[in-house]
Amino acid sequence: MSNNLLIVGAGQYGQVTREVAISMNKFNKIDFLDDSNDIAIGKIGDYSKFLNNYKYAIVAIGNSEVRSKILDNLVAAGFQIPILIHKNAYVSESAIIKKGCIIEANTTVNTDSQLGTGTIVSAGAIINHNSIVNDFCHIDIGAIIPSNCTVPGKTKVEAGMVYKKS
């Protein structure tokens, strides 16, 4: 089986995700599944039809509930869920990054931080040292997670926001 990637969602997040994947120079072919975009090769619900030709699949949909459900379906079908990190992102060697994360360009994921499954870290965001961002969060463009913070699962930290320590 080749190193082909299916991106579920061909909208804004999907387009950015494709660029992140291209920057990694790891995938032979990258295609989309989407219910309402003509560039997609199939509908979202048809994912199992593509298992023989695509080893990897990732969900690039902003809604965390939808992202979570689709990722679970992809895993159950037998896809490998990659971690996508743009070549221009800084990710500490001590950071823990779980499957399905998308880390865009010019981000920082610092020392001993953790990103939960299916988390999106948008361009220019900073996850400072010793912070935990739980599953299916979205840290939007330019947002900052200060050191020693814990962000609850499925939280969206808005663009430019400095997250308040809890």
The CATH number of 4-77, from 3.40.50.20, 3.40.800.10, 3.30.300.30, 3.30.420.40, is: 3.40.50.20
Residue 93: closest CA among 76, 79, 112, 77: 112
CATH 2.160.10.10, applies to 84-157: yes
The residues pairing with 57 across neighbouring beta strands, listed in sequence order, are 6
Q: What is the pLDDT of residue 137?
A: 98
Segment 146-165, tens digit of pLDDT: 999 999 999 999 999 999 97
Segment 74-83, tens digit of pLDDT: 999 999 999 9
Segment 90-100, tens digit of pLDDT: 999 999 999 99
Average pLDDT over residues 109-130: 98
The whole-model pTM stands at: 0.97
> What is the DSSP-derived secondary structure letter of residue 165?
P
- Say whether pLDDT at 166 is over 70: no
Which residue ranges make up each domain of the chain? 4-77, 84-157
Q: What is the pLDDT of residue 2?
A: 80
Q: Kindly give the pairing relationship between strand 126-127 and strand 144-145.
A: parallel
Q: What's the whole-number average pLDDT of the chain?
A: 97
